[in-house]
Structure 1
Amino acid sequence: MFKKLFFSFILLFAGSSVLADSIAPASFSTTLTKGQSTTIRKVVTINDEATTSLVDVMFVLDNTGSMGAALTSLRTNIDAAMVQTASLGNVRWGVGHFEDVNPGWGSGIDQAWTLALQPTDDQAAVGAAVNFPLGFGGDTPESNLIGLQSAATEVNWRPGSARFIVYVTDAPGHDPDTTPGYPGPTLQQTIDSLIAANIKVLAFTNTDFQAVEQAQLIADATNGNLDTSGLIDWGGRVAANVTVAASTYTTVSLGLNNPAGVGVIFAPVNHPAGPYDRSVTRTFEFDVTFTAVDSGQYDFTIDALVDGGVVATENDSITVPAEPVVSTVKAVPTVGMFAMAAGSLGIFGMSGFLARRRKNK
């Protein structure tokens, strides 16, 4: 019993205290008979600043010939950007870049996508990863959409993290819908992949009309942001853009990690969409209904989610006792048997008495 209580305490501390935001009550336990339900109110508190969030940031960088000055701006500012965003919590950075597809669209030596570094908190590794040689690109549109979709599907995004792609380009991406035969995803397919991976795109581009138009569509669809202030000094704005994006949110909901033996329903499923920000502390209430489905002991967690990222976790324990076994075999009526036996003996005794009387006559 002591070990179980100690373990429960550790779970409560790890689940509810590690993150700055919270769920109250931090734990709940009860016993329900099969088919029985109970409803409790859970309150999610989103604090006025993100200090212990899980944040994954992935650079998806245009590495073609015209991007030399833009990439120099990143290399000059990357260390400062990582230091300035450290207060958000557990932040990891990754690096990838694109040029174009060969043969047919690239310069002959280009790569459609290069995953240079999976997200890491090793700042030296990130600084080294952004120092890659400049490519070429061939024609003006590049393999932007291949890079974005590849980042959505190939990067090791941490479960429960707030996910951002810092997308930097001065040209639009080839779209098979407008470039027949191009071997890459369409704009819509790219957007669908980003949404499915719960990624917000923070785009930086210049004044190229087609690049701006395409980047705006991607940023809007993913609840991200587009910065068109120029690429010469964009590296100095990375930290501010990531911080703002990590401190604003649209949806607050609950996420479930429970076994099938207990049914769980949230009301509401999501609170009305924002936008919200962390300028003030906000609370969101949910009614959580637990229903016992099968007998057993069920220990599980419920997460508080901000735009799909985990910001707090609480612990639940539901006990569903086994139902008593009802026998289908009928018991032998012992008393009835003795009565029958006694009655039988009485009948046989009377028959003998009558037989003797007839004989004596």
Structure 2
Amino acid sequence: MFAAVRRSALTLAAAGALVATPALAMGAGVSPASYDASVDPGDTVHVAKTVTTPEIPPKPDIVLVVDETGSMGPAIANVKAEMGSIVSGVQSAQPQAQFAVASYKDESDGAALFEVESGLTASQATAQGAINSLVASGGGDTPEGQLNALWQVGSGGNAIAFRPGSSRIVVWFGDASGHDPSAGHSEADATASLVGVGAQVIAINVASGGADGLNATGQAQHIATATSGTFFPSVTPGNVASTILAGLGNLPAEVTADVSCDTGLSIAFSPSLPRTVTSGSDVVLDEAISVAPDAPQGSTLACTTTFRINGADAGPEFVQTVSIKVNDVTPPTVSCGPGVNPDGHTPGGWSNAGFFQMVATDNLPGVTVAVTDDATGTTFQPYAAGTFFKLTQAPGTTASRVAPFSGAVDWHFTFKGDATLTATDAAGNTATATCSVPPKRK
């Protein structure tokens, strides 16, 4: 629903000021959330990755900073009437959302220059009560004390206890410019204080007709820009609540990634991160998953990537996993080694005697050996590496044969030609060797 908010600001009912309920963007998160593949050592695979940012930043701490001077009565009344919808709507999109309310007047109003009506709370009733406590009055001359108020809610005054890992959003609305300095705090001080807590400012100029405007001296635009926020230049008092929601769904969203990979596996994104888009929009990436040339063959390596929005944890929907099986590309070694006779001894001239061993090794378990008669093409398999055998060459034979032998010798092959040993590992890699014996003497 917030996508529509960004395009049309919100549709208000004819009776006025009914605020639409926002919803979390469908598909917000990372897609695909997992990737599995088998990859050769030294190779790279590419995956098209889409990160759909939430339309409201994750775990938002939203502070309403309200001009409570006399001309603000209609705007405050509008927010009072819609505060319940604002809180419930935002919490339906981001259940961890909390709200605080602060107000400001002018130095001539004494202690009312700045007040925290309610600290951060998840309670709709508490937030509603804080807004309901506001009474538009006072103000003195046209400029007000907002620079002091903004300094107070940031790192300068620490009037708001922001939660660790939260998205800090200051919604500031009023209809008049501010004294500079205010209670000793300049525009530069206020800006630095807000930046110090990582707050984004939604500045709303209420076009009440009774003051010079929130941006009369450029303060609202300057501060919104410096905090990667949004400035709404002319909002009627009856549309302040809907503009608050529109602003919450129209903030810059910076996408970053924390990547953790097993040794031998790495991930790189193109274009590189961080990337900043309007909240609710997509960041489309090429994800390059690279297997190191020396990665252990046959192993399974994993990466976990946590995408963060404005530095905040956006939830499990923004966590992706990668599982890569490193292919075994190393062929086995095989040779026709010296064999033993039935008594377990290696005779002198063993090759002339026809006693051999199937010698085969591999970097991983599971290698087997096949024996082929080169003259007939007949193959016998599978045999374990290390098998001892007797090979008899009988040129006049019409069929290759194999039979169990005796003692330490496992098998007796009678072939028309020489024997080729083919070693095959679990990954299907092969290697060959030839066992040659002279024809049987007559």
The answer, yes or no, to whether TM exceeds 0.5 is: yes
CA separation in 1, counterparts of 2:72 and 2:98? Answer: 24
**Residue identity in the other structure for 1:236:** A
Specify the alignment match of 1:13 in structure 2. none
CA separation in 1, counterparts of 2:61 and 2:305? Answer: 22
**Residue identity in the other structure for 1:206:** V
Q: Determine whether 1:106 maps to 2:101.
A: no
Aligned length: 275
Contact kept, 8 Å, 2:257 with 2:273, in 1: the verdict is: no
**Residue identity in the other structure for 1:149:** W
Specify the alignment match of 1:197 in structure 2. 197
CA separation in 1, counterparts of 2:259 and 2:119? Answer: 28
Contact kept, 8 Å, 1:160 with 1:310, in 2: the verdict is: yes
Q: Determine whether 1:97 maps to 2:100.
A: no
Residue in structure 2 matching 1:221, options 217, 221, 226: 226
Q: Which has the higher helix share?
A: 1
CA separation in 2, counterparts of 1:192 and 1:148? Answer: 10
Distance change (3 Å), C-alpha of 1:43 and 1:192:
farther
Distance change (3 Å), C-alpha of 1:284 and 1:117:
farther
Specify the alignment match of 1:127 in structure 2. 128
Contact kept, 8 Å, 2:270 with 2:285, in 1: the verdict is: no
Specify the alignment match of 1:5 in structure 2. none
CA separation in 1, counterparts of 2:33 and 2:235? Answer: 48
The CA RMSD measured in Å over matched residues stands at: 4.4
Distance change (3 Å), C-alpha of 1:75 and 1:188:
same
The one-character-per-residue Cα deviations of 1:259-313 (angstroms, maximum 9, x if unpaired) are xxxxx9976795374434535x543356799xxxxxxxxxx98642223332235
Contact kept, 8 Å, 1:62 with 1:168, in 2: the verdict is: yes
TM-score of the aligned structures, taking structure 1 as reference length = 0.60
* Structure-to-structure mapping, 1:267-306, within 5 angstroms: 271=273, 273-278=275-280, 281-285=282-286, 303-306=306-309
What percentage of aligned pairs have identical amino acids?
23
TM-score of the aligned structures, taking structure 2 as reference length = 0.50
CA apart distance, 1:190: 1.6
**Residue identity in the other structure for 2:257:** L
With a CA cutoff of 8 Å and minimum separation of 6, indicate the structure with the bigger relative contact order: 1
CA apart distance, 1:218: 1.3
Specify the alignment match of 1:6 in structure 2. none
CA apart distance, 1:77: 1.2
* Structure-to-structure mapping, 1:336-355, within 5 angstroms: none
Contact kept, 8 Å, 1:204 with 1:231, in 2: the verdict is: no
Residue in structure 2 matching 1:307, options 296, 310, 321: 310
Structure 2, unmatched stretches of 5+, are 1-26, 37-43, 291-302, 323-442
Residue in structure 1 matching 2:235, options 230, 237, 242: 230
CA apart distance, 1:141: 1.9
Contact kept, 8 Å, 1:254 with 1:304, in 2: the verdict is: yes
Contact kept, 8 Å, 1:302 with 1:313, in 2: the verdict is: yes
CA separation in 2, counterparts of 1:166 and 1:70? Answer: 14
CA apart distance, 1:51: 7.9
Structure 1, unmatched stretches of 5+, are 1-18, 29-38, 259-263, 290-299, 317-361
Distance change (3 Å), C-alpha of 1:310 and 1:206:
same
Q: Which has the higher strand share?
A: 2
CA apart distance, 1:125: 0.7
**Residue identity in the other structure for 1:309:** A
Distance change (3 Å), C-alpha of 1:168 and 1:138:
same
CA separation in 2, counterparts of 1:62 and 1:236? Answer: 14
CA apart distance, 1:96: 0.8
